[in-house]
């Protein structure tokens, strides 16, 4: 039986952690926790492909990053994930002012395309820098204001919450293949 392809697009500022996240999950589910070294994937190797077997069948998840050699604006993804660096306030501001508007005005998302928000580099959150660090409640509030479907955060370096984030991404991606779709009902949910 052929697998169904689901396209997932990660967007966000350079160096916000997208490549590290994709590199970490490319090593398989059993390597999502821990601090072992990570070999970064090359942007030229996109899409990054992950095969998943679920009760309803086999799925091929194709992950794209905004660093893609081809224009990401030409993609029509089934799921969009807006990414920001938890330790950099400007990264969150750009998510709202640039990336959210960009994916919606460029025609990348359709009316039923779920859009998630993902805070990366959770391990760099600092209690000593209240002006730079973004706490979950602030990011969640912004995700609600942007009318996003879900808010998540993790650290690809330490593996903290990475398994849960990967599960949420896969669950939402698989829902895009059903008649209900992957959008949340009644607003943004928090992982």
Confidence (pLDDT) at 70: 56
At residue 52 the predicted structure's pLDDT band, cuts being 50, 70 and 90, is confident
Q: Give the domain ranges of the chain.
A: 4-190
Q: How far apart are CA 37 and CA 54, in angstroms?
A: 29
Q: Give the other-Cβ count within 10 Å of 189's Cβ.
A: 17
Residue 151 near residue 140, CB atoms below 8 Å: yes
- Cα dihedral 181, 99, 81, 65 sign: positive
- Rounded to 5°, the CA angle 106-110-113 comes to 115
Confidence (pLDDT) at 51: 85
* Tokens at 155, concatenated: 């650290």
* Tokens at 54, concatenated: 């679920």
Q: Has this prediction a pTM greater than 0.85?
A: yes
120-178 pLDDT, tens digit each: 999 988 777 766 778 899 999 999 999 999 999 999 889 899 999 999 999 999 998 88
* Tokens at 10, concatenated: 């990660």
Q: Does CATH place domain 4-190 in 3.40.50.300?
A: yes
């Amino acid at each position: 039986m052929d697998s169904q392809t689901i396209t997932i697009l990660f967007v966000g500022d350079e160096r916000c952690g997208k490549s590290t996240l994709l590199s970490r999950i490319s090593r398989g589910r059993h390597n999502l926790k821990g601090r072992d070294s990570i070999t970064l994937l090359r942007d030229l190797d996109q899409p990054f492909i992950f095969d998943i077997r679920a009760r309803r069948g086999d799925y091929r998840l194709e992950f794209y990053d905004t660093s893609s050699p081809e224009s990401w604006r030409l993609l029509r993804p089934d799921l969009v994930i807006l990414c920001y660096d938890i330790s950099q306030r400007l990264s969150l501001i750009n998510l709202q002012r640039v990336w959210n508007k960009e994916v919606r005005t460029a025609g990348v998302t359709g009316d039923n395309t779920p859009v998630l928000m993902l805070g990366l580099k959770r391990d760099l959150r600092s209690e000593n820098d209240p002006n730079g660090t973004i706490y979950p409640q602030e990011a969640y509030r912004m995700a609600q204001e942007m009318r996003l479907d879900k808010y998540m955060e993790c650290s690809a370096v330490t593996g903290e919450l990475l398994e849960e984030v990967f599960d949420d991404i896969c669950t939402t991606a698989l829902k895009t293949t059903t008649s209900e779709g992957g959008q949340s009902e009644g607003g943004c949910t928090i992982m």
